[in-house]
Protein backbone atom coordinates (compact mmCIF):
# COMPACT_ATOMS: atom_id res chain seq x y z
CA UNK A 1 0.00 0.00 0.00
CA UNK A 2 0.93 3.62 -0.47
CA UNK A 3 0.45 5.25 2.92
CA UNK A 4 0.31 8.92 3.80
CA UNK A 5 1.31 9.41 7.44
CA UNK A 6 0.60 12.79 9.04
CA UNK A 7 2.61 13.29 12.22
CA UNK A 8 5.02 10.53 11.18
CA UNK A 9 7.93 12.35 12.84
CA UNK A 10 6.18 12.08 16.21
CA UNK A 11 6.22 9.37 18.83
CA UNK A 12 3.39 7.08 17.73
CA UNK A 13 3.40 8.09 14.05
CA UNK A 14 7.08 7.19 13.62
CA UNK A 15 6.56 3.74 15.17
CA UNK A 16 3.58 3.06 12.90
CA UNK A 17 5.46 4.38 9.85
CA UNK A 18 8.31 2.00 10.71
CA UNK A 19 5.88 -0.93 11.04
CA UNK A 20 4.37 -0.08 7.65
CA UNK A 21 7.81 -0.02 6.04
CA UNK A 22 8.79 -3.25 7.81
CA UNK A 23 5.70 -4.84 6.22
CA UNK A 24 6.70 -3.70 2.74
CA UNK A 25 4.43 -0.68 2.33
CA UNK A 26 5.39 2.72 0.93
CA UNK A 27 5.27 5.64 3.33
CA UNK A 28 5.08 9.40 2.83
CA UNK A 29 5.38 11.43 6.04
CA UNK A 30 3.76 14.87 6.31
CA UNK A 31 4.86 16.73 9.42
CA UNK A 32 5.53 20.32 10.49
CA UNK A 33 8.11 19.11 13.05
CA UNK A 34 6.43 21.16 15.81
CA UNK A 35 6.81 18.32 18.31
CA UNK A 36 8.34 15.65 16.05
CA UNK A 37 11.92 14.97 14.97
CA UNK A 38 13.33 14.53 11.53
CA UNK A 39 15.58 11.76 12.95
CA UNK A 40 12.45 9.80 13.93
CA UNK A 41 11.22 9.48 10.35
CA UNK A 42 12.07 5.90 9.44
CA UNK A 43 14.59 5.19 6.70
CA UNK A 44 12.79 4.47 3.45
CA UNK A 45 9.96 6.95 4.06
CA UNK A 46 9.74 10.11 1.99
CA UNK A 47 9.13 13.33 3.85
CA UNK A 48 7.39 16.62 3.19
CA UNK A 49 7.57 19.36 5.80
CA UNK A 50 4.06 20.69 5.77
CA UNK A 51 1.60 22.18 8.26
CA UNK A 52 -1.90 20.72 7.87
CA UNK A 53 -3.35 24.12 8.67
CA UNK A 54 -2.15 25.21 5.20
CA UNK A 55 -5.08 23.86 3.25
CA UNK A 56 -3.95 24.89 -0.22
CA UNK A 57 -0.42 23.54 0.18
CA UNK A 58 -1.85 20.27 1.47
CA UNK A 59 -4.24 19.98 -1.46
CA UNK A 60 -1.52 20.82 -3.87
CA UNK A 61 0.78 18.20 -2.42
CA UNK A 62 -1.89 15.50 -2.61
CA UNK A 63 -2.52 16.19 -6.29
CA UNK A 64 1.11 15.22 -6.94
CA UNK A 65 0.83 11.56 -5.89
CA UNK A 66 -1.45 8.62 -5.19
CA UNK A 67 -2.14 7.06 -1.82
CA UNK A 68 -4.37 4.19 -0.70
CA UNK A 69 -4.73 5.28 2.92
CA UNK A 70 -3.99 8.25 5.17
CA UNK A 71 -2.96 7.64 8.79
CA UNK A 72 -3.63 10.82 10.74
CA UNK A 73 -1.46 11.27 13.84
CA UNK A 74 -0.68 14.99 13.60
CA UNK A 75 -2.37 16.89 16.42
CA UNK A 76 -1.96 18.91 19.53
CA UNK A 77 -2.21 16.19 22.11
CA UNK A 78 -1.63 17.35 25.67
CA UNK A 79 -4.59 17.05 28.02
CA UNK A 80 -3.31 19.63 30.56
CA UNK A 81 -2.26 22.17 27.92
CA UNK A 82 -5.68 21.92 26.27
CA UNK A 83 -7.31 23.15 29.47
CA UNK A 84 -5.11 26.25 29.50
CA UNK A 85 -5.46 26.82 25.71
CA UNK A 86 -8.97 25.52 24.94
CA UNK A 87 -9.78 27.48 21.77
CA UNK A 88 -6.39 26.83 20.24
CA UNK A 89 -6.84 23.09 20.75
CA UNK A 90 -10.44 22.96 19.55
CA UNK A 91 -9.70 25.06 16.50
CA UNK A 92 -6.35 23.56 15.51
CA UNK A 93 -7.28 19.89 15.87
CA UNK A 94 -10.59 20.31 14.08
CA UNK A 95 -9.37 22.52 11.22
CA UNK A 96 -6.21 20.52 10.47
CA UNK A 97 -8.27 17.31 10.46
CA UNK A 98 -11.00 18.76 8.25
CA UNK A 99 -8.32 20.01 5.86
CA UNK A 100 -6.96 16.48 5.65
CA UNK A 101 -10.36 14.81 5.29
CA UNK A 102 -11.40 17.24 2.55
CA UNK A 103 -8.11 16.79 0.72
CA UNK A 104 -8.40 12.99 0.94
CA UNK A 105 -11.91 13.07 -0.51
CA UNK A 106 -10.82 15.45 -3.29
CA UNK A 107 -7.79 13.31 -4.18
CA UNK A 108 -9.41 9.90 -4.09
CA UNK A 109 -7.79 8.63 -0.88
CA UNK A 110 -10.55 6.34 0.29
CA UNK A 111 -9.41 5.36 3.79
CA UNK A 112 -8.35 7.30 6.89
CA UNK A 113 -7.04 5.84 10.14
CA UNK A 114 -7.53 8.44 12.85
CA UNK A 115 -5.71 8.72 16.18
CA UNK A 116 -8.53 9.19 18.64
CA UNK A 117 -8.20 8.93 22.37
CA UNK A 118 -9.37 7.62 25.72
CA UNK A 119 -9.79 11.29 26.65
CA UNK A 120 -13.25 11.05 25.05
CA UNK A 121 -14.32 9.39 28.27
CA UNK A 122 -14.55 11.12 31.58
CA UNK A 123 -15.30 8.47 34.16
CA UNK A 124 -15.50 11.08 36.91
CA UNK A 125 -18.46 9.19 38.27
CA UNK A 126 -16.96 5.81 37.63
CA UNK A 127 -19.12 4.19 35.04
CA UNK A 128 -18.30 0.52 34.93
CA UNK A 129 -14.64 0.21 33.88
CA UNK A 130 -13.24 -1.01 31.48
CA UNK A 131 -14.55 1.41 28.86
CA UNK A 132 -16.19 0.05 25.69
CA UNK A 133 -16.32 1.93 22.41
CA UNK A 134 -20.03 2.60 23.00
CA UNK A 135 -19.57 3.82 26.59
CA UNK A 136 -20.93 7.35 27.17
CA UNK A 137 -18.74 10.07 25.68
CA UNK A 138 -18.09 13.00 27.95
CA UNK A 139 -14.65 14.53 27.41
CA UNK A 140 -13.02 16.02 30.52
CA UNK A 141 -10.78 18.29 28.42
CA UNK A 142 -10.91 20.43 25.25
CA UNK A 143 -8.35 18.00 23.82
CA UNK A 144 -10.80 15.10 24.20
CA UNK A 145 -13.61 17.24 22.78
CA UNK A 146 -11.52 18.20 19.75
CA UNK A 147 -10.94 14.52 18.95
CA UNK A 148 -14.68 13.83 19.30
CA UNK A 149 -15.40 16.59 16.75
CA UNK A 150 -13.06 14.85 14.33
CA UNK A 151 -14.72 11.47 14.89
CA UNK A 152 -18.04 13.09 14.05
CA UNK A 153 -16.61 14.76 10.93
CA UNK A 154 -15.35 11.37 9.74
CA UNK A 155 -18.86 9.96 10.15
CA UNK A 156 -20.20 12.67 7.82
CA UNK A 157 -17.41 12.02 5.32
CA UNK A 158 -18.45 8.38 5.25
CA UNK A 159 -22.15 9.17 4.86
CA UNK A 160 -21.69 11.76 2.16
CA UNK A 161 -18.49 10.74 0.37
CA UNK A 162 -18.19 7.06 1.15
CA UNK A 163 -14.84 7.57 2.85
CA UNK A 164 -13.94 4.63 5.10
CA UNK A 165 -12.32 5.34 8.43
CA UNK A 166 -11.07 3.69 11.59
CA UNK A 167 -11.20 5.80 14.73
CA UNK A 168 -8.67 4.18 17.04
CA UNK A 169 -9.05 5.41 20.58
CA UNK A 170 -5.69 4.78 22.13
CA UNK A 171 -5.42 4.65 25.87
CA UNK A 172 -1.91 5.57 27.12
CA UNK A 173 0.76 4.83 24.53
CA UNK A 174 4.02 3.73 26.12
CA UNK A 175 7.34 2.02 25.41
CA UNK A 176 9.71 2.10 22.48
CA UNK A 177 10.59 0.06 19.40
CA UNK A 178 11.90 -3.29 20.76
CA UNK A 179 14.71 -3.14 18.16
CA UNK A 180 15.82 0.21 19.60
CA UNK A 181 15.33 2.21 16.39
CA UNK A 182 12.79 4.65 17.84
CA UNK A 183 11.59 5.99 21.15
CA UNK A 184 9.60 8.72 22.89
CA UNK A 185 11.09 12.21 22.85
CA UNK A 186 8.92 15.22 23.62
CA UNK A 187 10.40 18.58 24.50
CA UNK A 188 9.41 19.49 27.08
CA UNK A 189 8.26 16.05 28.17
CA UNK A 190 4.90 15.97 29.94
CA UNK A 191 4.13 12.24 30.00
CA UNK A 192 4.38 10.27 33.21
CA UNK A 193 6.52 7.34 32.11
CA UNK A 194 9.37 9.20 30.35
CA UNK A 195 9.43 11.73 33.19
CA UNK A 196 9.67 8.95 35.79
CA UNK A 197 12.52 7.38 33.78
CA UNK A 198 14.44 10.66 33.55
CA UNK A 199 13.89 11.29 37.25
CA UNK A 200 15.31 7.81 38.00
CA UNK A 201 18.31 8.56 35.77
CA UNK A 202 18.88 11.78 37.75
CA UNK A 203 18.35 13.86 34.62
CA UNK A 204 15.57 16.05 35.98
CA UNK A 205 14.12 17.31 39.28
CA UNK A 206 11.78 15.01 41.23
CA UNK A 207 8.62 13.99 39.43
CA UNK A 208 5.57 15.98 40.52
CA UNK A 209 2.72 13.55 41.15
CA UNK A 210 -0.45 15.36 40.06
CA UNK A 211 -3.11 14.40 42.61
CA UNK A 212 -2.86 12.02 45.53
CA UNK A 213 -6.51 12.26 46.61
CA UNK A 214 -8.32 10.60 43.69
CA UNK A 215 -10.98 7.97 44.46
CA UNK A 216 -8.55 5.14 43.67
CA UNK A 217 -6.88 2.62 46.02
CA UNK A 218 -3.64 4.65 46.38
CA UNK A 219 -5.09 8.10 45.58
CA UNK A 220 -3.28 8.53 42.24
CA UNK A 221 -4.88 8.34 38.76
CA UNK A 222 -5.14 5.01 36.97
CA UNK A 223 -4.31 4.58 33.27
CA UNK A 224 -4.13 1.69 30.81
CA UNK A 225 -0.70 1.49 29.11
CA UNK A 226 -0.47 0.05 25.63
CA UNK A 227 2.86 -0.62 23.96
CA UNK A 228 3.47 1.51 20.90
CA UNK A 229 4.35 -1.56 18.78
CA UNK A 230 1.01 -3.13 19.70
CA UNK A 231 -0.63 0.09 18.59
CA UNK A 232 1.26 -0.15 15.31
CA UNK A 233 0.01 -3.69 14.76
CA UNK A 234 -3.56 -2.50 15.40
CA UNK A 235 -3.20 0.15 12.68
CA UNK A 236 -2.12 -2.40 10.10
CA UNK A 237 -5.08 -4.60 10.95
CA UNK A 238 -7.49 -1.66 10.95
CA UNK A 239 -6.50 -0.73 7.38
CA UNK A 240 -7.63 -4.12 6.05
CA UNK A 241 -10.71 -4.09 8.25
CA UNK A 242 -12.27 -1.02 6.62
CA UNK A 243 -12.66 -2.18 3.02
CA UNK A 244 -16.45 -2.22 3.31
CA UNK A 245 -17.30 -0.40 6.53
CA UNK A 246 -15.83 2.01 9.04
CA UNK A 247 -14.92 1.05 12.59
CA UNK A 248 -14.33 2.63 15.98
CA UNK A 249 -12.16 0.70 18.41
CA UNK A 250 -10.86 1.26 21.93
CA UNK A 251 -7.24 0.18 22.22
CA UNK A 252 -5.63 -0.72 25.51
CA UNK A 253 -4.36 -3.64 27.53
CA UNK A 254 -7.47 -3.85 29.68
CA UNK A 255 -5.50 -3.38 32.88
CA UNK A 256 -5.07 -0.21 34.89
CA UNK A 257 -1.94 0.97 36.67
CA UNK A 258 -1.92 3.86 39.09
CA UNK A 259 0.66 6.61 38.67
CA UNK A 260 2.36 5.31 41.82
CA UNK A 261 2.45 1.79 40.35
CA UNK A 262 4.16 3.18 37.25
CA UNK A 263 6.77 4.81 39.48
CA UNK A 264 7.31 1.43 41.21
CA UNK A 265 7.65 -0.32 37.87
CA UNK A 266 10.32 2.17 36.77
CA UNK A 267 12.14 1.52 40.07
CA UNK A 268 12.06 -2.27 39.48
CA UNK A 269 13.24 -1.99 35.88
CA UNK A 270 15.93 0.64 36.47
CA UNK A 271 17.09 -0.58 39.88
CA UNK A 272 16.98 3.09 40.97
CA UNK A 273 14.68 5.24 43.08
CA UNK A 274 12.30 7.62 41.33
CA UNK A 275 12.34 10.83 43.37
CA UNK A 276 8.81 12.34 43.47
CA UNK A 277 6.80 14.94 45.33
CA UNK A 278 3.03 15.30 45.71
CA UNK A 279 1.44 18.11 43.67
CA UNK A 280 -2.00 19.54 42.88
CA UNK A 281 -4.31 17.65 40.52
CA UNK A 282 -3.83 18.51 36.85
CA UNK A 283 -6.98 19.92 35.26
CA UNK A 284 -8.63 17.69 32.67
CA UNK A 285 -7.42 14.38 34.18
CA UNK A 286 -10.11 11.72 34.62
CA UNK A 287 -9.35 9.50 37.65
CA UNK A 288 -9.52 6.10 35.92
CA UNK A 289 -9.24 5.09 32.24
CA UNK A 290 -9.13 1.40 31.40
CA UNK A 291 -9.98 0.04 27.95
CA UNK A 292 -12.25 -2.74 26.88
CA UNK A 293 -10.68 -3.74 23.54
CA UNK A 294 -12.89 -6.78 22.94
CA UNK A 295 -14.19 -5.42 19.63
CA UNK A 296 -10.87 -5.03 17.82
CA UNK A 297 -9.71 -8.39 19.19
CA UNK A 298 -12.83 -10.16 17.97
CA UNK A 299 -13.01 -8.46 14.60
CA UNK A 300 -9.33 -8.36 13.59
CA UNK A 301 -7.57 -10.96 15.75
CA UNK A 302 -5.43 -8.21 17.30
CA UNK A 303 -3.96 -8.99 20.66
CA UNK A 304 -1.31 -7.02 22.55
CA UNK A 305 2.07 -8.75 22.69
CA UNK A 306 3.21 -6.57 25.59
CA UNK A 307 0.89 -7.11 28.51
CA UNK A 308 3.43 -6.98 31.34
CA UNK A 309 3.92 -3.42 32.53
CA UNK A 310 7.61 -3.98 33.41
CA UNK A 311 8.29 -5.18 29.87
CA UNK A 312 6.66 -2.08 28.43
CA UNK A 313 8.65 0.12 30.80
CA UNK A 314 11.85 -1.78 29.98
CA UNK A 315 11.66 -0.92 26.27
CA UNK A 316 11.21 2.77 27.16
CA UNK A 317 14.02 2.66 29.74
CA UNK A 318 16.45 0.93 27.39
CA UNK A 319 15.89 3.52 24.66
CA UNK A 320 16.24 6.43 27.07
CA UNK A 321 19.42 5.04 28.63
CA UNK A 322 20.94 4.89 25.13
CA UNK A 323 19.47 8.27 24.11
CA UNK A 324 19.60 10.43 27.23
CA UNK A 325 18.96 13.54 25.12
CA UNK A 326 16.41 11.83 22.91
CA UNK A 327 16.98 12.20 19.20
CA UNK A 328 19.63 14.84 19.91
CA UNK A 329 21.83 12.20 21.52
CA UNK A 330 24.91 11.30 19.52
N1 LIG B 1 0.65 9.57 23.34
C2 LIG B 1 -0.49 9.03 23.74
O3 LIG B 1 -0.54 8.36 24.77
C4 LIG B 1 -1.75 9.20 22.93
C5 LIG B 1 -2.93 8.63 23.39
C6 LIG B 1 -4.10 8.78 22.65
C7 LIG B 1 -4.08 9.45 21.44
N8 LIG B 1 -2.92 10.01 21.00
C9 LIG B 1 -2.93 10.70 19.71
O10 LIG B 1 -1.97 10.08 18.87
C11 LIG B 1 -1.39 11.03 17.99
C12 LIG B 1 0.12 11.00 18.11
O13 LIG B 1 0.49 11.29 19.44
P14 LIG B 1 2.03 11.38 19.86
O15 LIG B 1 2.10 11.09 21.30
O16 LIG B 1 2.82 10.58 18.91
O17 LIG B 1 2.30 12.93 19.64
P18 LIG B 1 3.59 13.65 19.04
O19 LIG B 1 3.47 15.07 19.48
O20 LIG B 1 4.82 12.90 19.39
O21 LIG B 1 3.38 13.56 17.48
C22 LIG B 1 2.56 14.45 16.76
C23 LIG B 1 3.27 14.75 15.43
O24 LIG B 1 2.42 15.59 14.64
C25 LIG B 1 3.17 16.70 14.14
N26 LIG B 1 2.21 17.80 13.98
C27 LIG B 1 1.50 18.43 14.95
N28 LIG B 1 0.71 19.38 14.41
C29 LIG B 1 0.91 19.34 13.07
C30 LIG B 1 0.38 20.07 11.97
N31 LIG B 1 -0.51 21.07 12.14
N32 LIG B 1 0.80 19.79 10.73
C33 LIG B 1 1.72 18.80 10.52
N34 LIG B 1 2.26 18.08 11.53
C35 LIG B 1 1.87 18.33 12.79
C36 LIG B 1 4.24 16.94 15.20
O37 LIG B 1 5.36 17.65 14.71
C38 LIG B 1 4.58 15.52 15.62
O39 LIG B 1 5.57 14.98 14.80
C40 LIG B 1 -2.01 12.37 18.36
O41 LIG B 1 -3.09 12.62 17.48
C42 LIG B 1 -2.53 12.14 19.77
O43 LIG B 1 -3.63 12.99 20.05
C44 LIG B 1 -1.76 9.91 21.71
O1 LIG C 1 4.73 14.93 35.56
C2 LIG C 1 3.68 14.26 35.57
C3 LIG C 1 3.05 13.85 34.37
C4 LIG C 1 1.88 13.12 34.45
N5 LIG C 1 1.33 12.82 35.64
C6 LIG C 1 0.08 12.05 35.73
O7 LIG C 1 0.25 10.83 35.04
C8 LIG C 1 -1.00 10.42 34.44
C9 LIG C 1 -0.78 10.17 32.97
O10 LIG C 1 -0.48 11.43 32.36
P11 LIG C 1 0.19 11.56 30.92
O12 LIG C 1 0.41 13.02 30.68
O13 LIG C 1 1.34 10.63 30.83
O14 LIG C 1 -0.92 10.98 29.96
P15 LIG C 1 -2.45 11.39 29.81
O16 LIG C 1 -3.27 10.29 30.39
O17 LIG C 1 -2.72 12.76 30.32
O18 LIG C 1 -2.61 11.51 28.23
C19 LIG C 1 -2.16 10.56 27.28
O20 LIG C 1 -3.15 9.60 27.04
C21 LIG C 1 -4.40 10.19 26.71
C22 LIG C 1 -5.36 9.05 26.56
O23 LIG C 1 -5.60 8.49 27.83
C24 LIG C 1 -4.30 11.15 25.54
O25 LIG C 1 -4.82 10.80 24.35
C26 LIG C 1 -3.05 11.98 25.44
O27 LIG C 1 -2.76 12.39 24.10
C28 LIG C 1 -1.85 11.29 25.97
O29 LIG C 1 -0.87 12.28 26.18
C30 LIG C 1 -1.99 11.56 34.74
O31 LIG C 1 -2.71 11.24 35.89
C32 LIG C 1 -1.09 12.75 35.05
O33 LIG C 1 -1.66 13.71 35.88
C34 LIG C 1 1.95 13.22 36.83
O35 LIG C 1 1.45 12.94 37.92
N36 LIG C 1 3.11 13.91 36.75
129 pLDDT tier (thresholds 50, 70, 90): confident
- Report the CATH number at residue 129: 3.40.50.720
pLDDT of 156: 98
Quote the ipTM score: 0.98
| Contact predicate 40/9, CB 8 Å | yes
Average pLDDT, integer, range 204-214: 97
pLDDT of 329: 84
Beta bridge partners of 48: 30
Q: What is the residue with the minimal CA distance to atom 26 of ligand 1? A: 74
Q: Say yes or no: 103 and 213 in one domain.
A: no
Report, as residue numbers or ranges, the catalytic residues.
Answer: 143
Q: Let me know if residue 260 belongs to a domain.
A: yes
Q: Say yes or no: 109 and 164 in one domain.
A: yes
Q: Please state, rounded to an integer, the average pLDDT across all residues of the chain.
A: 96
Q: Say yes or no: 279 and 208 in one domain.
A: yes
Q: Say yes or no: 87 and 233 in one domain.
A: yes
Q: Strand 2-6 vs strand 26-31: parallel, antiparallel, or unpaired?
A: parallel
The per-residue pLDDT for range 229-260, each reduced to its tens digit, is 999 999 999 999 999 999 999 999 999 999 99
Q: Say yes or no: 240 and 207 in one domain.
A: no
Phi, psi torsion values for 112, nearest 5 degrees: -130, 135
Q: Let me know if residue 185 belongs to a domain.
A: no
Domain containing 212 equals: 192-223+255-328
With a 6 A CB cut-off, is 297 part of the ligand 2 pocket? Answer: no
The per-residue pLDDT for range 7-43, each reduced to its tens digit, is 999 999 999 999 999 999 999 999 999 999 999 999 9
| Contact predicate 276/208, CB 8 Å | yes
pTM, two decimals, is: 0.98
pLDDT of 330: 75
Domain count across the chain: 2
The per-residue pLDDT for range 139-181, each reduced to its tens digit, is 999 999 999 999 999 999 999 999 999 999 999 999 999 999 9
pLDDT at 113 > cutoff 70: yes
- Report the CATH number at residue 284: 3.90.25.10
Q: Say yes or no: 131 and 237 in one domain.
A: yes
Q: Say yes or no: 85 and 6 in one domain.
A: yes
Q: What is the residue with the minimal CA distance to atom 31 of ligand 2? A: 221
Q: Residues lining ligand 1, judged by CB closer than 6 Å?
A: 6-7, 9-13, 31-36, 51-53, 73-75, 77, 96, 115, 117, 170, 172-173, 186
Phi, psi torsion values for 315, nearest 5 degrees: -65, -40
61-99 as b/e, with b when 16 or more CB fall inside 10 Å?
bbeeeebebbbbbbbbbbbebbbebbeebbebbbebbbb
Amino acid sequence: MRCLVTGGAGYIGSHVAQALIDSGHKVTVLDNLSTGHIEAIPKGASFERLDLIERDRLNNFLTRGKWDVALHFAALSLVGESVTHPYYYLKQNLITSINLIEACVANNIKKIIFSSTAALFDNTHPSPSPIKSDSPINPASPYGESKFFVEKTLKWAEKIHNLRYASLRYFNAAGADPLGRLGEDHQPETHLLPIAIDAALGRRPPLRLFGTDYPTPDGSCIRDYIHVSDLADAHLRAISQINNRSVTYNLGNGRGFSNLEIIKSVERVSGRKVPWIPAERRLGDPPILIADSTEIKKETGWTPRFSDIDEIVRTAFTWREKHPDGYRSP
